[in-house]
Structure 1
Amino acid sequence: MAGQEFTVCDVLYLYSDARTAYDRFIGIGGNPEQARNAVALLLWLDQCNVSAIKHLPGLSPAAVNLVAAEANLVLDCLREPTPMVPAIPLISALCQDGDVDPRFFAFHQDLVVRGVADILDGVGLLIFDDHLNKMLRRYQTGLVGNPPELAATYNCLPVAVPEDCRSMFITFSKGAPIEREEIFDYFRQKWGDCVVRVLMEKTTGASSPMYGRIIFRSEAFVQLVLNGERLVKTNIRHRQIWLRKYVPRPAATQN
C-alpha cells in the first residue's frame, strides 16, 4: 500500500477475508490471541503468494478448526528451541496456487516471525479492532453515515508502544544460572533483531539472579512468544526459563 493513500474503511475492505477468518476462529471457540496470530500467519503466507486465507469463509466448522490447529502448530514451531517441522496437510492443500513447504517454518523462523509481527503491528491493529469492524457493519447496512474513524486516513507507520506493553517477566530455575547475553543471543539467533535489552535481578555476593525482564522491539513479539498462554517455558542451553507478560507494580500511594 506504499505510495497510495487509503482510509481506514478502505483497509478494512481490503482485509475483509482476514477479518472473516478471525471471526470464524473465534466462532469455534478459539483463543483471541491465538486467532490473531493464526490470521496474521495466513496473511503473511498470502503476501508470499501462498493463499489459504481466502478459502476460510467456505469451510465447514470442522475444517476451520483443523486450519486453526495447524496454524497453531506452526506458531508453536516458531517458539521451539530446536527446529521442528509442523504437519499442515490442510493448509498445504488449500494453497492450490502456491507451494508451502512445512520445513520452511522450522528453518527460517526469523523471516516468518518478523513477517507475522509486522502484520500484527500494522494492518492487524485495524483487522482485529472489534469497535472499528462493528462500525463498518453499521455503515454497510446504512444504519449510520461514514463515521470519522472509518473516513480517517490510514497511517501505516508503527504505533509507539510503551516498554511495559512489550516486556516479558522471566524467571529461572534455582541452581541453573543464566547470563543476560545468553538470553539476548537466544532470541536474536532465532528471531533476529527483536530484543531491545534484557534486565536482570540485582544481586549481591555470589548469588545468581532468579528473575529478569525482556524488552522486545514490539508488542507483537510478546504475543508470539505466549500465543494465548499465560506462562510458557523454553530452554536455553539446557536451562529452563519461564516467561509471562510483564505487569508493572502499581505505583505506591501515599496517605
Structure 2
Amino acid sequence: MMPIRESQIHLFHKVDREVFCCLLLKLSLEPSQCLLIMSLWLWLENVGYPNVVPQLVGLSSPLLNAVAKEAQACLKCLEEDNPRIPKGGGLPLTSTLIEKDISLQLFHLKRFTAIAGIKSVLNNVSVRIFSDILHNVLSINNNGAVRSGFGPGPGTNGSLSIPGFPHPVFGNVTVPPLSHDLPVELWWYDDLDDNVSWSSRPSDDVRDEDKTMFLTFSRGFPVTEEEVLHLFTTNFGDSSVRVINMGEPDAANEQPLFATMVLDSVATVDEILMGKRIAKFKINGKHIWARKYENRV
C-alpha cells in the first residue's frame, strides 16, 4: 500500500472535520466529548447506519446540540450496568436524521461491542483526522490565550494530552504530533479513491481481555472444563470459545470455583449477557454464572 499524506486524509474527512469543529468551537463542548461523540458517529456509519455525519452538516447550533446530547446519552448508557431508557428509545432526533430506528436499548444490548468499536475508532481514526485541530485549539499562545486558528502553534510538535482522558470506559488516547504533511501509513484505508473501506473493522483489534468472561461455580457442585465448553459452544456456536482457563481447585472441596473464558469476539460477550451484568446458566444440574471479565490491576 502506497503511503498517503495527512492533507489527503483531511480532504477525504472534510465533512467529519467540519462537524467536529462545530462541536468544539460553536457548541464549546469539551475536546474529550467531541472526540467520543465523533467516534461514536463514525462507528455507527461502519456498522450499518450510513451517512450519519453528513446529515449533521448545516444544522443549526441548537439542533446539532440536541443531536450531540443524544450521542452523549449513548455514551452514558455504555458506562452504566442498568441505564434508564426513556419510553420511545431516547434517540428521536438521531433516528429521524438517519431515517433508521435506533435506541438506547440497542446500545445497552450491544454494550461491549459498542465500547470496543468506539474505542477502536477513537484510537485509530479520530485522533489522526482531528489531530491538527486539537493541537491548535488546546495549545497556548505566548499571551496564555487559547488559540482558535488552525495554523501551527507553539508547543505543538509533541504528542498532546487531552483533558478528560484516561476515560473510565474508553481508556486513554494519544494524539500524534503535527506531521507537517509527511507521508504516513494508515491501516484503515485500502485507498483514497471513490471506494474507501476499512481493512479491519472496528473492534477487530481488541485485546483478549475485552473478549473474556469470568465464570463462577457453586461450591459442592464441581464443573469440568468439558462441561463449560459444551455449554457455551452448544448455545453460541462451535467456534465461540477460544480458551478456557479453569481456576485452581478449592482446598476444602477439591474443585475449581471459577474460570476465565476467552471468546471469539466481543459480540459473543453481548450475546451471552443480553444486556445483563450477570448471566446464569445450568448444565447437568449445576449452575454457572457468567459476567464480563474486569482486570482490576
TM-score by length of 2: 0.45
Query: Any stretches of 5+ residues in structure 1 without a counterpart?
Result: 137-146, 158-187, 195-235, 238-255
Give the superposition deviation at 1:155: 3.3
> Any conservation in 2 of the 1:11–1:154 contact (CA below 8 Å)?
no
- 3-state SS, counterpart of residue 74 of structure 1: helix
Q: AA paired with 1:45?
A: L
CA contact (8 A) 2:20 2:38 kept: yes
Q: Distance in 1 between matches of 2:98 and 2:3?
A: 30
Q: CA shift at 1:100, angstroms?
A: 2.7
* Whole-angstrom CA distance in 2 between matches of 1:47 and 1:76: 21
The structural deviation recorded for 1:149 is: 2.5
Decide whether the 8 Å contact of 1:28 with 1:61 is kept in 2.
Answer: yes
1:114 corresponding residue in structure 2: 116
Q: Distance in 1 between matches of 2:2 and 2:53?
A: 24
2:8 paired with 1:10 = yes
1:141 counterpart residue number: none
Identify the residue that residue 58 of structure 1 maps to in structure 2: 58
The amino acid across from 1:42 in the alignment is: W
1:112 and 1:148 map into 2 onto residues whose CA distance is 30
Q: 1:102 aligns with which of 80, 88, 104?
A: 104
CA-CA distance at 1:58 after TM superposition:
1.0
**SS of corresponding position for 1:52:** coil
Report the CA distance between 1:78 and its aligned residue. Answer: 0.3
Deviations 1:99-119 (A, max 9, x none): 434321011111111111111
Aligned match of 1:40: 39
Correspondence list, 1:22-41, <5 A: 22-26=20-24, 27-41=26-40
| 3-state secondary structure, aligned to 1:123 | helix
Partner-residue secondary structure (3-state), 1:192: helix
Q: Secondary structure of the equivalent of 2:9? A: helix
Report Cα offsets for 1:44-85 as digits up to 9, x if no partner. 111123132112221000101101110000000000022544
With over 3 angstroms needed to count, the CA separation of the structure-2 counterparts of 1:78 and 1:9, relative to structure 1, is same
Q: Which has more helix, going by share of residues? A: 1
- CA–CA distance in structure 2, aligned partners of residues 47 and 135 of structure 1: 31
Q: Distance in 2 between matches of 1:56 and 1:192?
A: 32
| Pair member with larger Rg | 2
Counterpart-to-counterpart distance in 2, 1:31 and 1:5:
32
With normalisation by structure 1, the TM-score equals 0.52
Change (3 A) 1:57 1:193: same
- Unaligned runs of at least 5 residues, structure 2: 137-148, 153-177, 189-206, 213-276, 279-297
**What is the one-letter code of the residue matched to 1:120?**
L
Query: What is the identity, as a one-letter code, of the residue corresponding to 2:16?
Result: A
SS in 2 for 1:81: coil
Higher relative contact order at CA 8 Å, sep ≥6: structure 1 or structure 2? 1
Match of 2:250 in 1: none
Task: Check if 1:89 corresponds to 2:98.
Answer: no
1:192 and 1:87 map into 2 onto residues whose CA distance is 27
* 8 Å contact kept, 1:83–1:107: no
Worse-superposed segment, 17-26 or 148-157? 148-157
C-alpha contact 1:77 1:105 (8 A) present in aligned 2: yes
Tell me the residue number matched to 1:128: 130
Is residue 12–residue 126 contact of structure 1 (8 Å, CA) maintained in 2?
no
Q: Residues of 2 paired with 1:113 and 1:4: CA distance?
A: 31
Alignment of structure 1 residues 1-255 onto 2, 5 Å = 5-26=3-24, 27-50=26-49, 51-85=51-85, 87-96=90-99, 98-129=100-131, 130=133, 131=135, 134-135=150-151, 149-156=180-187, 192-193=210-211
Q: How many residues align?
A: 152
Structure 1 position 134, deviation (Å):
2.7
